[in-house]
Amino acid sequence: EVGKPVLNWDCNAIADAGACLSTAYDLSKFVLANFSDDSTLEYQRQRTFSVENNDIDLAYGWHIYRKNGIVLYFHNGGTGGYHSNITMDLKKKNAVIILANSTFESEERYLEKISWKILRTIE
d(C-alpha 94, C-alpha 33), whole Å: 12
Q: Is 117 exposed, middle or buried (CB count within 10 Å of its CB: 0-12, 13-18, 19+)?
A: exposed
Between 41 and 22, the higher pLDDT residue: 41
Phi, psi of 32 (to 5 degrees): -60, -40
pTM comes to 0.83
d(C-alpha 76, C-alpha 111), whole Å: 8
pLDDT at residue 2, as a whole number: 67
pLDDT of 17 above 70: no
pLDDT tier for residue 22 given thresholds of 50, 70 and 90: confident
Residue 45: partners with Cβ closer than 8 Å, 6 or more residues away: 34, 59, 60, 61, 62, 64, 73, 90
Q: pLDDT tens, 62-103?
A: 999 988 888 999 998 877 778 889 999 999 999 999 998 876
d(C-alpha 62, C-alpha 75), whole Å: 5
Q: pLDDT tens, 31-58?
A: 999 999 999 999 999 999 998 788 899 9
pLDDT tier for residue 109 given thresholds of 50, 70 and 90: confident
